[in-house]
Structure 1
Amino acid sequence: MNYQQILKEIEKEIQPSLQKGKVADYIPALAEVDPNQFAMTITLKSGEQFSVGKSQEDFSIQSISKVLAFSLAINIYSKSLYKRVGVEPSGNAFNSLVQLEYEQGIPRNPFINAGAIVVMDALMSHYGGDYLALEKILNFARDISANQEIKFDSTVAKSEMEYASRNLSLAHLMKSFGNFDNDVRNVVQTYFKQCAIVMNTENLSRAMLYLAFDGTDPINGRSFLNELQAKRVNALMLTCGHYDASGEFAYNVGLPGKSGVGGGIVAVVPDVMSIAVWSPRLNSYGNSYAGTLALQMFTSKTGLSIF
């Protein structure tokens, strides 16, 4: 299959859609990004990559980072983690307080904000503080992407913290139900630093390869998760990876994936490849408008889907 030709076709066909949607302007630092950019990269088992667009342009991966934090947490806590965070789709906005109140401070899944904040709280407890937990996540990102230069953007993290009222409320609500161990502000601040990790589509596509191959990087043979853990992460990406549009993404794209409000989306084709796409304009659910469409085109053109 000529993957480069397929990506070129997608890049050409996607152009009219680059004007649709809007950037995440509720985070001031993200509002400044050129909204009309597009990039897409696939990485095969051999490590061979195919890209189009601005595939070396760095951007804030935002909620895609939740996959990394959850991978670390499931490796540490195993099933006991599910006492603090569930594995069900939310069906509500990613920052909903109502559902969290109704379900007594137990977030539906680790990919909505409340769930990811609890995961960060758990990691901080395990590693002994904010700095060590963040370093572990950054080092994990560096290892799976084979790029030791990966870091977070302090300007983006600070920008998010200035508009953190709802996320702080989520954390305080969970603390009131006894599902929180550390200082609320410290955890939320560290969570924002995690979300502010910067990558490009080449980094991201390379990074997700371990999830396409049962938790083991097929290039260097390094195991990051066991087969069952990788299966769990992929299942959650399929059912919860796009907030309350996860069902629509599974229906139209048919791959486990995770989006972020920075405009990035990652997806995996089990035993074949990992994919990353980026376009900053978002649809009404907070997922990349053109990125979602590009992945739908890719699975339609290639026939690569888990269904």
Structure 2
Amino acid sequence: MAADPLQAILDEITAEARDATERGKVADYIPELACIDPGQFAIAVARPGQPTLTAGDAGVPFSIQSVSKLFMLALALGRLGDRLWSRVGREPSGQAFDSMLLLELEKGRPRNPFINAGAIVTTDAVLEGATPREALGALLRFIRAAAGDEAIHINDRVAASETATGHRNVALAHYLRSHGNLRNPPEMTLGTYFHQCAVEMSCAQLADAGRFLVGGAGAPRLVSKARTRRINALMMTCGHYDGSGDYAFRVGLPGKSGVGGGILSVVPGVASVAVWSPGLNHYGNSRLGTEAMERLAARTGWSVFGPEGKGG
């Protein structure tokens, strides 16, 4: 059987990443992430109904951090539907992921569900009528069903590390509570949120888990087509915080990043792509992961805006 030409592209991109001298800076404000080797790199492409292709360190587990927000958002929309949007907006923030500035100006309603304040509200919404154990169990079941892998788990050491050092998130939660936009005790919502961010997956598992947002034959049917479209739209406009416009310009695909160095991108109707490199750029997104996605989009023609032509 002929080799898949996409595998050669992934191998090329991985070799280029291995040779990079500028790798970004790991998220050292979370002690458990500060010791991660920035020399690691992985990429995986999952096309529904076809074998998942990988290159680099694609079997190494890492903390998905804010990539978890898109799975919790899918869960929240399944439980609350459009009622969620009365508590969180759908607009880009133009601010850092943990900024309090807009939250103060806009009276406790976060701009979108992918900045920290918005994700805390989303987690709080899933907790209504549930215990933290039940909410986290539902999240893990959703991710495992999406990936087709029961081995995915939460790293308790990372969760404890975030609990001990997440002072800004504590401030955000209490500010939300002061405006009546947190229904559960802040400690309860934050404990759930910190454990949610500590979900641990490999690049191959993350690519597989993103197939439910791809659509088409063979993709897991976990949410409706309309909801898939809306989650992808939010990933495009808000998935990389104040770097979302830059990622859309360079890559042209919906994507969600995390400070663990992971990025999950979706090529609607075609594939789910995960990249991982722990070093971050100044936006808090994977530096080499973003560059790798830019190269992949250019070499495959994958973009919601059409294939790349000459010029820039």
Instruction: Tell me, yes or no, whether TM beats 0.5.
Output: yes
Corresponding residue number in structure 2 for 1:239:
237
In structure 1, what is the Cα distance between the partners aligned to 2:41 and 2:60?
A: 9
Residue deviations 1:158-178, cap 9 Å, x none?
Answer: 001111211011011011111
Which stretches in structure 1 are left out of the alignment for 5+ residues?
A: none
Corresponding residue number in structure 1 for 2:81:
78
Corresponding residue number in structure 1 for 2:144:
142
Deviation at 1:47, TM superposition (A): 3.2
How do 1:78-227 residues align onto structure 2 when only pairs under 5 Å count? 78-126=81-129, 128-213=130-215, 218-219=217-218, 222-227=220-225
AA paired with 2:165? Y
Q: Does 1:26 align with 2:29?
A: yes
Q: 1:41 aligns with which of 23, 39, 44?
A: 44
Deviation at 1:18, TM superposition (A): 5.7
Matched residue SS, 1:292: helix
In structure 1, what is the Cα distance between the partners aligned to 2:20 and 2:214?
A: 28
Residue deviations 1:246-279, cap 9 Å, x none?
Answer: 0000000000000000000010111111100000
In structure 1, what is the Cα distance between the partners aligned to 2:244 and 2:34?
A: 25
Deviation at 1:222, TM superposition (A): 4.4
AA paired with 1:291? G
- Paired residues of 2:47 and 2:270 also in contact (CA < 8 A): yes
In structure 2, what is the Cα distance between the partners aligned to 1:188 and 1:268?
A: 29
Q: Does 1:272 align with 2:270?
A: yes
Residue deviations 1:7-47, cap 9 Å, x none?
Answer: 11111222333642100000000011111100000011213
Residue deviations 1:97-144, cap 9 Å, x none?
Answer: 111011000000000000000011110114x21110011001111110
Corresponding residue number in structure 2 for 1:288:
286
AA paired with 2:93? S
AA paired with 2:87? R
Corresponding residue number in structure 1 for 2:308:
none
AA paired with 2:223? L
Matched residue SS, 1:246: helix
- Paired residues of 1:61 and 1:260 also in contact (CA < 8 A): yes
Change (3 A) 1:157 1:101: same
How large is the Cα RMSD of the aligned pairs? 1.1
Q: 1:65 aligns with which of 68, 87, 90?
A: 68
In structure 1, what is the Cα distance between the partners aligned to 2:191 and 2:20?
A: 34
Instruction: Tell which deviates more after alignment, 16-25 or 296-305.
Output: 16-25
Deviation at 1:223, TM superposition (A): 1.9
Matched residue SS, 1:149: coil
How do 1:3-22 residues align onto structure 2 when only pairs under 5 Å count? 3-17=6-20, 19-22=22-25
AA paired with 2:163? M
In structure 2, what is the Cα distance between the partners aligned to 1:291 and 1:121?
A: 30
Matched residue SS, 2:128: helix
**Could you tell me the TM-score, scaled by structure 1's length?**
0.96
In structure 2, what is the Cα distance between the partners aligned to 1:281 and 1:120?
A: 27
Which stretches in structure 2 are left out of the alignment for 5+ residues?
A: 306-312
In structure 2, what is the Cα distance between the partners aligned to 1:59 and 1:149?
A: 13
Q: Number of residue pairs matched?
A: 302
**Could you tell me the TM-score, scaled by structure 2's length?**
0.95
Matched residue SS, 1:261: coil
